[in-house]
Structure 1
Amino acid sequence: MWPNMFGERVGPFTTEREHMTSNHQPTEQIAALISETGAPGDAPTERLDVQSLGPPKPLKQTLERLADLDDDIVLVQFNDRAPQHLYPKLEDRGYEYESVETDDATVTVIWHR
């Protein structure tokens, strides 16, 4: 769990402090979500939580993060809804993606073709 801007502890999946280890290896929960998609399961991962942000910040932050990542890294984005406006921008930039609904979030897994 991690504190949000109001100091409240929030987290969609576990009580673990971090969802990723320092070497970009996914936790078991993240790996399970990635396995539900066509993303490469053995690729390094980055996690981006935009659930608390209002539009257009999730779209902007996701595109900025993707621009900073190497092509082999899979981005796992947590949002409170499916990012419909992001999908065409990902396609234009050569990314593939799949969204998975969980009890706590919509998780969009994004990887480079």
Structure 2
Amino acid sequence: MSGVESLLTETDAPPTGSPEVLDVRDLPPPEPLKLTLETLAEADDDTVVVQVSDRVPQHLFPRLDDRGFAYDTVERDDRVVTAIWTE
């Protein structure tokens, strides 16, 4: 996942030793949304959760805003990396 880690450095996410990476590219909707929100609910406040998807997770953003999470997304040809963290 070194490609994900290099993309993570392009986001505003705080530095972290080992981000929680969720590759949801093969999951059908709404599984990526559910898995990401469940992972965030169980994660420590200093954990950066990284969702790797094949599209921008538009339906996730309002839910992150409602829950007070910060996030940043980097798009590349073959993937979209969204870093999510607690402010």
Relative to the length of structure 2, the TM-score reads 0.90
The gaps in structure 1 that reach 5 residues or longer are 1-18, 20-26
Structure number with larger C-alpha Rg: 1
1:64 and 2:53 equivalent? Answer: no
Residue aligning to 1:49: 23
Distance between the aligned counterparts of 1:35 and 1:48, measured in 2? 17
**Equivalent residues, number:** 87
The DSSP-based 3-state class of the residue aligned with 1:51 is coil
Cα shift at 1:35: 1.8
The DSSP-based 3-state class of the residue aligned with 2:57 is coil
The gaps in structure 2 that reach 5 residues or longer are none
Distance between the aligned counterparts of 1:45 and 1:58, measured in 2? 17
Distance between the aligned counterparts of 2:82 and 2:5, measured in 1? 13
- Ranges of 4+ aligned residues in structure 1 off by more than 3 Å: none
Identity %: 53
Cα shift at 1:31: 3.3
**Structure-2 change in CA distance of 1:60 and 1:44 (3 Å):** same
Cα shift at 1:59: 0.4
**Structure-2 change in CA distance of 1:43 and 1:112 (3 Å):** farther
Which structure carries more helix by proportion?
A: 2
Residue aligning to 2:59: 85
Higher RCO by CA contacts (8 Å cutoff, separation 6 or greater)? 2
Distance between the aligned counterparts of 2:16 and 2:64, measured in 1? 21
From 43, 48, 53, the equivalent of 1:74 is: 48
1:37 and 2:11 equivalent? Answer: yes
Cα shift at 1:103: 2.5
Relative to the length of structure 1, the TM-score reads 0.71
Q: 1:52-72: per-residue Cα shift (whole Å, max 9, x none)?
A: 111111100100011111010
